């Protein structure tokens, strides 16, 4: 049986074990060049992108701090509606990946700039079917494109980063057509904001937010946008 580790299971690990796992990540956050191909600034009110890159707690937490992002919803993409729940997805055989649906203002930030944050800060695109310390296809690196323009930009940027040898190993991020996004259970929404002292969050996800602020200060905002209006405890 293949090893599948869920975010919740990772919480049972000791702090020292989580620290070793995080420290052993192949790629550390660093600035990347902007995409050569990107969407032009648009007057449209909002656009949406769906991304997967490990546990959705951290992915959501990172993008909630990006200027121009209006909402980030944690959920599931890649599988059927009837298996879009945490218990089934955590088994690793539904086709789903833990994902985030990012609604953004194209007048403030572009689709390509969101991919820049995705590749450099939010996840390690060279890890296949895992994001340390979580393992399984449900933690894969995946871009789900909503239209041909998003697909072209995603594939172009992956090729650009490959040609530039931006990473020490090949990028394994999948680029697939978005066939559905299903919001996760309520207790997963804004999890990082409501559980900032969790060992898993402190070790694996808070450094990503710190990296966003350090690497892309112009894109960082201190006050995160939240799915709910309930203030963090």
Q: Of these residues, 55, 69, 84, 184, which one is catalytic? A: 55
Indicate the pTM of the whole model. Answer: 0.89
25 preceded by cis ω (within 30°)? no
Inform me whether the pLDDT recorded for 205 exceeds 80: yes
3-state helix, strand, coil in the chain (%, to 5): 35, 20, 45
Q: What is the pLDDT of residue 45?
A: 83
What domains sit in the chain, N to C, each tagged with a CATH number? 7-215 (3.30.1060.10)
Q: What is the tens place of the pLDDT at every residue in 155-199?
A: 999 999 999 999 999 999 999 999 999 999 999 999 999 999 999
Contact 54, 157 (CB under 8 A): no
Asked if 7 is an active-site residue, the reply is no
CB atoms within 10 A of CB 167: 18
75/86 Cα distance (integer angstroms): 9
- Note the pLDDT tens digit of each residue in 74-113: 999 999 999 999 999 999 999 999 999 999 999 999 999 9
Q: How high is the pLDDT of residue 120?
A: 97
Q: What is the pLDDT of residue 29?
A: 87
Give the span between the Cα atoms of 126 and 165, in whole angstroms. 12
Query: What does the pLDDT read at residue 81?
Result: 98
pLDDT at residue number 6: 56
Q: What is the pLDDT of residues 30-46, one digit of tens each?
A: 899 999 999 987 767 89
């Amino acid at each position: 049986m293949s090893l599948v580790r869920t975010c919740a299971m990772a919480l049972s690990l000791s702090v020292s074990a989580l620290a070793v796992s995080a420290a052993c990540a192949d790629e550390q956050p660093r600035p990347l060049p902007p995409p050569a191909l990107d969407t032009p600034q648009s007057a449209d009110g909002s656009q949406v992108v769906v991304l997967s890159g490990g546990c959705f707690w951290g992915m959501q937490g990172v993008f909630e701090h990006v200027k121009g992002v209006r909402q980030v919803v944690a959920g599931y993409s890649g599988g059927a509606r009837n298996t879009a729940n945490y218990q089934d997805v955590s088994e690793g055989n539904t086709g789903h990946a833990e994902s985030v649906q990012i609604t953004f203002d194209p007048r403030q930030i572009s689709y390509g700039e969101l991919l820049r944050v995705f590749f450099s800060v939010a996840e390690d695109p060279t890890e296949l079917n895992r994001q340390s310390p979580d393992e399984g296809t449900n933690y894969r690196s995946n871009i789900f494109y909503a239209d041909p323009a998003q697909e072209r930009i995603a594939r172009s940027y992956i090729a650009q980063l490959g040609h530039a040898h931006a990473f020490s190993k090949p990028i394994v991020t999948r680029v697939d057509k978005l066939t559905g996004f299903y919001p996760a259970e309520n207790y997963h929404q804004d999890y990082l904001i409501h559980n900032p002292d969790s060992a898993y969050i402190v070790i694996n996800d808070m450094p990503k937010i710190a990296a966003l602020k350090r690497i892309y200060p112009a894109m960082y905002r201190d006050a995160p946008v939240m799915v709910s209006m309930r203030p963090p405890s």
